[in-house]
Each structure stands twice: as structure tokens, then as C-alpha cells.
Amino acid sequence: MTTAAEASVPAAAPSSGAPVAIDLCGVTKDFPVGLRGLKLRAVDNLSLAVPAGQVFGLLGPNGSGKSTTIKIVLGLLEPTAGTCRVVGVPSAQVESRRNVGYLPEAPYFYRYLSGAELVRFYARVCGVPRQRLDARVREVLDWVGLTGAAARRVGTYSKGMLQRVGLAQALVHDPRLVILDEPTAGVDPAGSAEISSMILRLKSEGRTVLITSHLLAQIEDVCDRIAILDRGRLILEGAVAELVGRRDRQALIVEALPPGELAELRVWLAARGRALESVEQPRARLDEIFLREVARAGDGRKEAGP
Amino acid sequence: MNSMAVPFSFARTSLIAGNTFLEAVRQRLFLFLVLLAVALVAGARFFHEFDFGPDGGVPELKFLFDFGLGALIFFGSTLTITATAQLFFSEIENRTALTLLAKPVWRAEFVFGKFLGAWAVVGVFCALLTGLLAVLLWFRTGAILAANPGAFLHGGRIGLGDIAIVCGLQWLKFGVLAMMTLLVSSFSGTNLFSVVMGFFVLVICHLQAFAHQAYTRVEASSVALGLMIETLARVFPDFQFFNLADKVGTEAGLDAGLALRVAAYALAYILVFGFLAVFSFRRREI
């Protein structure tokens, strides 16, 4: 785990010798503001190594430098200082983007193209061989669950479908690194859960995923490691399991105890020098209830027939 | 995928151009300008109130040609500037450029793709109007000959080849104008600024030759003014070179060699402004 005090030191790969998908070293980005030579520092001496094959969450409040960092990784912005390499290639070089698939925040695509035409366009831009083109387009559209809507114009797509077609265009050239900028922004819980499961599938295929999101529960569910930025500086970085887990505490879930037995348990623990810190009723997560009930309603409609 | 070098690709450039073209022809402005220009050219035939004299055939054809060419130049210039700026900024403002440039795409491919797409749109516009003008002149020539078989004994007949060359040179001129608009757009923050600057540049390119001539005739002009006019003459192309319409219908006819030189002049400016646009766009923040 890296803390604020260590953040200015260039970060090494999480485990020595492990392959690194993104390597940011002392990256600083200043934007000129106004005509008097004033500068706004969006990213401040950021050093970060994203291990290959993992899901990495880039977190931070609005204006913390997440999008600027992503643009530097994509070669869309040049850092004022420092270096950025993507799968070993400097991000300023066009070659680095052969290895990267990118889903922008609130994606907007050519509305007059159908989903299949759009993915085909990006596939050709990325140099997918002609003989593989049709099969690859079908493959990724199927992968994101858009086969049924492939012939529809993108202008008629819902928010969730736009994210799916965005993911399809990001994956069409089979990149090793996939960058997802707020992939669940504006998407309903069902769509959000599907995107989470797609992210885990990407990981199981051996791809590296860099994700930004304000839905911290989702980040916790899918990410192996996270980094938190604030005002362009790295304030925390580490494995999710290490950051959220408390090794000195345990939660035991038992059937509801009557007050008398609970008191006995306290006494039993006290006799062994332990304390029962809190007694809570476990709560189901609201998104789980939502997904369960929506699925149940859907099953009901299927049984009722057309 | 490996990290082999990604060379500049004409295939990618043409893909971007094709998409730009598709986007442009779906815009109402294009359709509106086409319809307006077609209506004007076709309407020229019905200006019966003009008196073309006793041997009216030759002046009438010249009038029809000049009127049609005027419509092509006016609406073509408007379409070139507005379409080029709009097609460039729609990619930036809608953030489709973000997705596109996050792919293995050179910025030069993006700039030249946008240019070729916009230029193709203007090309379709020019081809439509040129075809219409040619058909109109062909019909009138036939009608005049039927009424007076000796109408063109002393020349004055407008050949289809001449029409194609004159209109083709206008299209090349629009190419230079499109690339200059793209150069402005590459650093401009708004579509409006690009359009205004595009028209400003158009006026400079049309007038700089007159300003240059006027300066050389007046001995007492200031050194600073002379320097400014000389600079303008070097930096901005002279659009008067493209006006070969006066030669059409004359006995001497169009000089094919001159037309080729003008075409080369246009292509050279397109390339120079193209490289400047790429250089300017290279570090633009998307």
C-alpha cells in the first residue's frame, strides 16, 4: 500500500518482475489558464504502475485528475513532465494505442450508423484484417449482448446499449489493455451489474482493465487494486483486499440470538479477554434486491405469455 | 496485438473521409445549398427579359455560363467554409474525435481524412452544378442552331470540355479554401470563429492580387504597406488565377497548359496548408 507520504516517490511494480500494463513515472500536467501565464496543475508528479492482467480502479473526486491521467495514457495529452508507457511503448507513440481499447465517459457515437456498422468502422480503423472483419464484429457484438440490436441505428440506442456498443468498439481489435471511463454512469442497476460481470470476464481473458467510477461498491467488487487521486496527487494506492479488509477483526453471522444468550456470549468472550464490539443485523444490498425483483418480474411476464 | 510501428495509412484516411462525407450529406445545409444553387442555375434559362441583341445566341450562352459559374462559386465557397468547419467541430464537440484518436490513428490521418471528406462533398456539389450547366448550355446551343444555323460561325460556342475544366478548377480552389479553413479550425476554439476566418481568408485570396497591382502602380505607397501586401501575396494563394472563364467561348479557347499549372498551384497550396494544419493540430488537447 502506498500512502500520501510515499506518493511522490516513483511507484515500483506491485511485485518485482511482474509485467506492467501502464507505467506512469513522475507525470505532471499543467494547463495554461488565461493570458497571464497562469497554470492549472491537473496531475502532480504521479507515479503509478498498473499490473498486467488485473482490474485497476482509478478513484478520486471530480477534478482530481483521473480523466487527464487517462488522456495521457491514451496519448491524447502530452505530459508537461514525466513519462508514460503503455505495455512498454511510450504513450505519445501511435503504436501504443494498438494495445489499448477505450470506452469514454458518456460515449457519443455516429448516430446515423447501425451498431454493426459502427463497430465495423472502428475495426477497420484499428486494422482488423478484412477476412476476419465480419466474424470479429459479430463476435464482439455477441460478447456485449447486442446481436439483436446490431442492425439498429445507434441514435435509437438506450444509455445501456450505448455503453455496450462502446465496449464492443473498444474490444474489436483485441487489445491487451481496456480503459473504461465511468462505464456505469447513467446506467440502471441491471445494466451496471452486467457491465461489472463483463469487466470480470475481461479479466478472466487475461486483459488488464483500468476503470474509473464513482460507484465505489462496484469498484470494490471488481477491482484488484485501486489508486486514489486528489487534486492531481496520488494519496493512496494498494490492493483492494488489503485496503478494505481488517485482519484484526472478524464478523460471525449466526441465527438471531435472544437477549439472554447474547449476554452469555459477551461474558464468555470477556472471560477470554475478548470484546463483542457490535451486534448488527446483516442487511441485503439494495442493488441485490433490485436485481432479484426485476428478474422475478421478468420471469412472471414470461410465464404469463404474450 | 504487438508494438510494431504504425505507418501513415491511406486506407484509414479514406475511412475517416468516407465517414465525414456520409455525415455531411446527411446535413440539411448541404441539401439546401444544392437545391438553391440548382434552382438558380436552372432559373437562369428563364431570364427572358434580357435583350441579347439580334445575334443573341453567343451572348445568351455566355450569360448562362457566367450566371451558372457565379452560382457555383458563391454557393460552393459558402458550402466549403461552413461544411469544413462544421464537420471538424462536430467531431470535437461531440467527442467522437476522442474515441477515434484513442485508436492507432495519426492526427495527420484525421486532418487529411476530414479534408478529403469535406472536399468530396464540395466535389459532388460541383459535379451536380457542372452537369446541370452543361445540359442547359447543350440544349440552348441546339435550340439556337436550329433557329440560326450560322449563329456560331465566328466562335462563341461553349464546349463541354471547357465547362468541365473551368468548374474543375473551381473545385480545386475550394480544396485550397477547405484546407485553409481546416488550418484555422485546428487551433480555433469555436466553429463560428473558423467560419468567420474562413470567409475573411476567402476575401483576402480574391482581393490580394488587386491590392498587389494597385500598390505597384502607386509609387508613393509606404514601405510598411508594401511589405504587408508582399507578405499577403506570398502566404495567401491568389484566387484570381482560377478565373479562366473569360477564355471560354473565345476563338483562342482555354489553354490546357495554363489549366494544368493552376491545378498544380492549387495542389501545392493544399499540401502546404495541410502540413501546417497537421502541425497545429498535433498537440491540440482533445
Task: Report the residue of A72, A86, A98 to disrupt the B interface, i.e. the one with the largest count of B CBs within 10 Å.
Answer: A98
- The nearest CA of chain A is from the CA of B103 a distance in Å of 6
Which pTM does this prediction carry? 0.85
Q: Rounded distance, CA B148 to CA B150, Å? A: 5
Query: Is residue A138 packed enough to be buried (19+ CB in 10 Å), middle (13-18) or exposed (0-12)?
Result: middle
Confidence of residue B55 (pLDDT cuts 50, 70, 90): low
> Is the CB of residue A124 less than 8 Å away from at least one CB of chain B?
yes
Q: What is the pLDDT of residues A163-212, one digit of tens each?
A: 999 999 999 999 999 999 999 887 888 888 889 999 999 999 999 999 99
Task: Please provide the size of chain A in residues.
Answer: 306
Does residue A291 sit in the same domain as residue A182?
no
Does residue A239 sit in the same domain as residue A263?
no
- The nearest CA of chain B is from the CA of A237 a distance in Å of 26
Confidence of residue A162 (pLDDT cuts 50, 70, 90): very high
What angle is formed at CA A85 by the lines to CA A82 and CA A91, rounded to 5 degrees?
90
- The verdict on residue A74 lying in a domain is yes
What percent of chain B lies above the pLDDT cut of 90? Answer: 47
Does residue A154 sit in the same domain as residue A223?
yes
Which among B179, B159, B204, B202 has a CA at the least distance from the CA of B266? Answer: B179
| Phi, psi (rounded to 5 degrees) for A293 | -70, -40
Does residue A223 sit in the same domain as residue A271?
no
Read off the CATH number of the domain in which A39 is found: 3.40.50.300
B167-B172-B173-B179 Cα dihedral, nearest 10 degrees: 150
Can you give the residue range of the structural domain that contains A170?
2-244
| Phi, psi (rounded to 5 degrees) for A210 | -110, 125
Q: What is the ipTM of this complex?
A: 0.83
Instruction: Search chain A and give the residue with CA nearest B8.
Output: A94
- The verdict on residue A254 lying in a domain is no
> Is the CB of residue B3 less than 8 Å away from at least one CB of chain A?
yes
Does residue A150 sit in the same domain as residue A285?
no
- B99 chain-A contacts, CB cut-off 8 A: 102, 104, 107, 109, 122, 166, 169
- The verdict on residue A253 lying in a domain is no
> Is the CB of residue A94 less than 8 Å away from at least one CB of chain B?
yes
Residues 8-47 of B with CB under 8 A from A: 9, 11-12, 15-16, 19, 22-23, 26
CB–CB contact A102 B105 (8 Å): no
> Is the CB of residue A173 less than 8 Å away from at least one CB of chain B?
yes
Element (H or E) spanning A38, and its range? strand A38-51
| Top mean-pLDDT range of A180-189, B71-80, B145-154 | B71-80
Q: What is the pLDDT of residues A266-297, one digit of tens each?
A: 999 999 999 888 888 888 777 778 778 777 87
Does residue A192 sit in the same domain as residue A116?
yes
CB–CB contact A108 B95 (8 Å): yes
> Is the CB of residue B95 less than 8 Å away from at least one CB of chain A?
yes
- How many independent structural domains does chain A possess? 2
- The verdict on residue A305 lying in a domain is no
Does residue A214 sit in the same domain as residue A78?
yes
Does residue A53 sit in the same domain as residue A88?
yes
Does residue A239 sit in the same domain as residue A291?
no
- The verdict on residue A184 lying in a domain is yes
> Is the CB of residue A169 less than 8 Å away from at least one CB of chain B?
yes
Element (H or E) spanning B232, and its range? helix B223-235
